[in-house]
Amino acid sequence: MLIYILKRIIMIIPVLIGLSLLLFVISRLLPGDPVGLAAGPRATLEQIEALRVEFGLDKSLPVQYFNYIAGLLSGDWGASLITRRPVLDDLRIYLPATLELVVFSMTLSVIIGVPLGILSAVRPGGRLDVVVRIASLASLSMPRFFLGLMLQLFFAMLLAWFPLGGRFPFIVFPPPNVTGFMTIDSLVAGDIQAFGLSLKHLALPSIAMALSPMATILQLTRASTIETLNQDYVKTARAMGLSQRLILFKYVLKNSLSATLTMTALFVGWALSGTVLVETIFDWPGIGLYATHSVISQDFMPILGVSIVIGLIFIIINLIADLLYGMLNPKVQYK
Amino acid sequence: MSAKLYAVTSAPNSIWRQNFKRALYRFRTAPLAVPALIVVMLLLFAAAFGPLVAPFENDIYGAVDTGSRFMAPSLEHWFGTNDLGQDVLSLVLGGARITLVAAFIVVCMGALIGTLLGACAGYFGGFIDSIIMRSTDLMLILPSLILAMVIGAALGAGLNNLILALVVSWWPSYCRLVRGEVLSKKEELYIVATRALGARDSRIILKHILPNVSQVLIVRMSMDIGNAILMIAALSFIGIGVKPPTPEWGLLLSLARTNLPDVWWTAAFPGIAIFLAVFSFSIVGDALRSALDPKSTRF
Amino acid sequence: MAFLKISDLNLFMDGFEGSNHVLRGINLSIEQSEIWGIVGETGSGKSMTALSVCQLVPCPPGRFTNGSILLEGQDLMATSEAEMHKMRGSRIGMIFQDPTTYLNPAFRIGTQLIDVALSAARNNPSIFGEEQVRGYRNRRRMAKKISIEMLDKVGIPDAAKRCHDYPHQFSGGQKQRILIAMALIGQPKLLIADEPTTALDVSVQAQVLSLIWSIKQERDLTVLLISHNLGVVAQLCSHVAVMLEGEIVEQGSIEEIFDNPAHEYTRRLLDALPSGNRRERLETAAAERLASDA
């Protein structure tokens, strides 16, 4: 098992090299002008030339790539033009906020999506199933940014139940930073009020984030549950007199989950891209907001940094999904 | 031999018609398929003739009338007016063309590139396969929104750059899909027989394999149009895509943000337009899938 | 009163192209501790008869029009699903054809057995013995104990240890033994075995059949055995019913039927049975076919 995990971790390395190569190619070979982008719109010709040398862009492409990789590995991910700080430092500040949002919204979408998927699979074509499936198609069609805006409009502006945006009110002292997760930090500090506040701030962005992965998870769970329900061993469980609840939520769930899991992980990875939109709307200080700010001010290095981080998270989630798949499927042997 | 082959590859006319009828029936009975198809038709109509039927055609091209700004929905301005006094209905109608055309181009180009590469990878296998598939895997590591964002940021704003960025991030999923299909089709007897008859590779791929993949492809593409619309709107919303005064839906929504909550209509109608467009395209795609694939479980 | 009495059972299966009359008025009367075999070819409705007794026919597409199934006087057709559910496992046990697909691959067999025992104990606490077992923890421990005993009884060596294994770690015959253990852990009076040996090797078949026989003797079970194999039926059963296209064409004690088949189809089935003078029978069969062709 341990050896298998190690092997899988080692297998990440070529993927990472590929990812960096891809981003390098995009940044260097496309008809855009990275130096012009990096120098900002008001740079003079001399400044641009100086930057060109500074970035090593006067060297050959392989050398450039080597330098780029060496930079990535040594923690030099370039600097942001807006914040005037190294990209890596910025990411360290913004990443926990994004992770908190992603973890929260994914939990939400799994908690709602999986049971609904199972229930609608019990009677395919039944009334519940049709309603749930149309609702899930609708949620998939709902643009996150529109949903976010409407949630903001109704629940923050008109009803004022929730704050408009941000992670924590400016006028209140935040709990001391331990994990970077506001909710956990406030619990660690024993500050119930702060916990409530951070939950309130989390609520709307999480819902806006959760809706479409929830629909996807629901559909996947439904499909694999239908398949599982047709298996012979479900017939056995029925004939042995096990209750419908036990059959569905213990026996069928485990079987259909192992089939759903890998796909779900893939979609969780894709859902990460939703943070860009949701964070922009709710002013959530995460890497998505960081990326949009950078895009608007044509600040290229932070965008590269954010994409590397998102790629990394995606790879790690997939690895975890693979390992979980093995745990749910006793037949899989780790080699 | 060749006569037999003919019989296998092209079915008699009557079976064709029967299948068509059955497909039509399955399509009609899929929930919401018919209303969704009507919405799609309306959208296509708006894309074709939007500027002509729009009550304030000049607003689409950036005409400004500050005298009539922020007017609530009324009989004259069904969807109200925005901060520049432009009629929101006209903007939404005008936006249909931009969004739909861009979405069609993205999906078609993405499908074309992906299909060709995927067919080559699946058919030839070996070295070509691993090169193509490894790069596809790489492209799929990054969510397409992020990938398009990186490319869009590198290229700069503008509709053309937006489309280019999306096409580049769009083809890998098609490549993977087509490769899988081709791999399974390749081993089927009629292909083996065609190869035994001495047909060239290009002919086998184009004449025999791709037509058999086309059904899967069409279904996927029809479901994908909605995704493309979402992506275009999202990128414009972030500020990568088109620039004002082009009335793209996502851009309209992003411009309307600052006027909330008092002026809700400038945000609501473009948003609803995006939602309706994506929703109807996915419903139609889903109905199409259940119509074309007799084995698919219906919902 | 008969232990199990099926009268005039009619079942339709509704499909795309109209409905299919699957069971055409089944009548069957089974006394306590008899072993009945139902034989017939694929699609003759024998499995559907068995599933009907458990009320496990999927409806829709299935549709019962009339008929009754009386188990110890209680009409199962009129019993609610909730009641039926309590009877399965505690009054009716069922085992199926292919032991490899009928055990859940993702759970240890111990877990599966314990769950069955727990749910059976809810309806029939006596399976845990005379004393009342209180508390979830105790009941679980008790369920585990009788699961291991049951595994032991069906001949799984080293049962206490092996109940932590997953189904794929057992052989086909062992899996069928586990399924039998599962079906009988709730101490039902009726065991329905739907082709229990079809997917097994011949040598294993005999072992499983003798296992069923010995447990039947010990617990005074009534057994309904579905098979397309007359040889199996001949070995095990006291009575036999022959099914053809949804009808029982002939039924009676095994000696009656085997010695004196009344129906043409039964005769043909018996002819297909390998026996000492098989060669002679084959020759007559060939001669008959030649005669009918000409």
Which residues in chain C are closer than 8 Å to A236, comparing Cβ atoms? Answer: 96, 102-104, 179, 182
For A295, name the nearest residue in chain B, comparing CA atoms only: B153
pLDDT exceeds cutoff 60 at A7 = yes
Between B228 and C3, name the one with better pLDDT. B228
Residues in chain C closer than 8 A to A241 (CB atoms): 85-90, 116, 119-120, 123, 186
The pLDDT, as a whole number, for residue B109 is: 93
pLDDT tens track for A268-303: 776 777 888 888 888 888 888 888 888 877 777 788
E strands, B161-275, where?
Answer: none
Mean of pLDDT over chain C? 81
Residues 243-282 of B with CB under 8 A from A: 250, 253-254, 257, 260-261, 264, 267-268, 271, 274-275, 278-279, 282
Give the pLDDT confidence of A254-270 residue by residue, as tens digits.
877 776 777 667 667 76
DSSP SS3 for B274: helix
Q: Is A151 on the interface with B (CB under 8 A)?
A: no
How many angstroms separate the CA atoms of C85 and A278, rounded?
A: 48
Q: Which of A212, A193, A190, A189 is nearest to A201 (CA)?
A: A193
Per-residue HEC secondary structure of chain C comes to: CCCEEEEEEEEEEEECCEEEEEEEEEEEEECCCCEEEEECCCCCCHHHHHHHHHCCCCCCCEEECCCEEEECCEEHHHCCHHHHHHHECCCEEEECCCCCCCCCCCCCHHHHHHHHHHHHHHHCHHHHCCCCCCCHHHHHHHHHHHHHHHHHHCCCCCHHHHCCCCHHHCCHHHHHHHHHHHHHCCCCCEEEEECCCCCCCHHHHHHHHHHHHHHHHHHCCEEEEEECCHHHHHHHCCEEEEEECCEEEEEEEHHHHHHCCCCHHHHHHHHCCCCCCHHHHHHHHHHHHHHHHC
Helix (H), strand (E) counts: chain B: 13, 0
Nearby residues of B142 by Cβ (< 8 Å), 6 or more positions away: A19, A22, A307, A310, A311, A314, B150, B169
A153: closest chain B residue by CA: B261
**According to the model, what pLDDT value does residue B49 have?**
82
Please tell me the predicted confidence (pLDDT) of residue B104. Answer: 92
**CA C276 centroid distance within chain:** 29
Distance from the Cα of A176 to chain B's closest Cα (Å) equals: 32
CA B16, B20, B23, B25 torsion: positive or negative?
Answer: negative
In chain A, the percentage of residues whose pLDDT exceeds 70 is 86
Cα C156 to Cα C167: distance, rounded to the nearest angstrom: 13
What is the reported pLDDT for B297?
A: 42
- Asked if C85 and A331 come within 8 Å (Cβ–Cβ), the reply is no
| Per-residue pLDDT, B106 | 93
For residue B218, the model assigns a pLDDT of 85
Give me the residues paired with residue A86 across strands: A79
A132 in contact with B, Cβ within 8 Å = no
pLDDT at site B107: 93
Interface check C94 vs A, CB under 8 A: yes
Q: pLDDT category, C77, cuts 50, 70, 90?
A: confident
> Are B253 and A149 within 8 A, CB to CB?
yes
Q: In the structure, what pLDDT confidence band is assigned to residue C54 with cuts at 50, 70 and 90?
A: confident
pLDDT of residue B235: 87
The pTM for the full model equals 0.77
Residues of A in contact with C196 (CB under 8 A): none
pLDDT at C292 (0 to 100): 64
Neighbouring chains of A at 3+ CB pairs under 8 Å are B, C
Q: State the nearest Cα–Cα gap between A238 and chain C, in angstroms.
A: 8
pLDDT at position A31 is 55
Distance between CA A255 and CA A92 in Å, rounded?
Answer: 38
pLDDT of residue B3: 43
Residue B245: asked if its preceding bond is cis (omega within 30°), the reply is yes
Is a pLDDT exceeding 60 seen at residue C226?
A: yes
Nearest to A330 among C85, C106, C186 (CB): C106
Alpha carbons A145 and C241: distance in angstroms, whole number: 68
Q: Does A145 contact B152 at a Cβ distance shorter than 8 Å?
A: no
Residue A280 contacts B, CB cutoff 8 Å: yes
CB contact under 8 A, A236 and C168: no
Q: Identify the pLDDT of residue C235.
A: 79
Q: Which residue of A has its CA nearest to C184?
A: A240
| Residues of chain B predicted below pLDDT 70 | 1-15, 62, 293-299
Comparing alpha-carbon positions, the chain A residue that sits nearest to B137 is A15
CB–CB contacts below 8 A, A to C = 80
Q: Render pLDDT for A12-71 as a digit per residue (tens, 0 to 9).
A: 888 888 888 888 887 766 555 656 666 666 667 777 777 767 666 667 777 877 877 887
pLDDT at residue B193, rounded to an integer: 83
Alpha carbon of C57: minimum distance to chain A alpha carbons (Å): 10
pLDDT at C70 over 90: no
Distance of residue B208 Cα from the nearest chain A Cα, in angstroms: 32
Q: Which of C205, C1, C222 is nearest to C93 (CA)?
A: C222
Integer CA distances (angstroms), B227 to B222, B278, B282, C68, in order = 10, 7, 9, 55
**How far is C-alpha A48 from the geometric centre of its chain's CA atoms?**
35
The answer to whether A150 contacts chain B (CB < 8 Å) is yes
DSSP at B66: G
Mean pLDDT of C149-175: 85
Burial class, A314, CB count within 10 angstroms (exposed 0-12 / middle 13-18 / buried 19+): buried
* Rounded CA separation A163/B45 (Å): 41
- Residues of chain A that touch chain C, judged by Cβ-Cβ distance less than 8 Å: 231-233, 235-244, 246, 250-251, 254-255, 258, 328-331
- A149:B152 CB<8 A: no
Can you read off the two tokens belonging to residue A327?
């745990």
Do C168 and A331 make contact, defined as CB atoms within 8 angstroms?
Answer: yes
Using pLDDT thresholds of 50, 70 and 90, give the confidence band for residue C62. Answer: confident
Interchain pair A232, C106: CB under 8 A: no
Residue C281 has pLDDT above 60, yes or no: no
A238 closest CB neighbour out of C56, C98, C115: C56
**How many cross-chain Cβ pairs, A to B, lie less than 8 Å apart?**
152
Which 103-122 residues of chain C touch chain A by CB within 8 A?
Answer: 103-107, 115-116, 119-120
Q: Look at C105 and A255 and tell me if their CB atoms are within 8 Å.
A: yes
Looking at the complex, report in whole angstroms how far the Cα of residue A328 sits from the nearest Cα belonging to chain B.
25
- Min Cα separation A10/chain C (Å): 29
List the 185-214 stretch of C: residues with Cβ below 8 A of A: 186
Mean of per-residue pLDDT scores for chain A = 80
Residues of C in contact with A330 (CB under 8 A): 105-106, 166, 168
Contact B280, B102 (CB under 8 A): no
